[in-house]
Amino acid sequence: MSAPGDVTGSWELRVRLLLSIQRALLGEVTPNIRVVTAHIDAHTIVLRWVIDGEISDSFRLDLSAVAAEVAADFATHQIAEEFVRCDASHAIDELYLDDVAYARKE
């Protein structure tokens, strides 16, 4: 792993995160998921789920199972999840974190 502050190391970590999220999403994407966006630093991963419509408790559990798969790939990081309702009629640009792992066609 690269030294802290190393741009190459940061880039590699971000790519690793995106690939992990995309793998974990296989077979789990539903039509109401607008965007899955993420941020990673030395100790924390933030996953933000931007959802069109109501976010039920069972749907949160399904998405948390995806996050658990990502967490398994990053043993030294804490995972934080954010569930944001943003219906299709509203812009989502301001909700993006550093990287977008999934975005539906709109």
List, in order, residues 6 or more apart from 56 with CB less than 8 Å away: none
User: In the prediction, which pLDDT does 9 show?
Assistant: 61
CA 79 to chain centre: 10
CA 61 to chain centroid, in Å, comes to 15
Q: Say if CB 73 and CB 16 are below 8 A apart.
A: yes
Q: What is the pLDDT of residues 79-102, one digit of tens each?
A: 999 999 999 989 999 999 999 999
Q: pLDDT of 31-55, one tens digit each?
A: 999 999 999 998 999 999 999 999 9
How far apart CA 49 and CA 3 sit, in angstroms, is: 30
Say which amino acid occupies 97: L
Q: What percent of the chain has pLDDT over 90?
A: 86
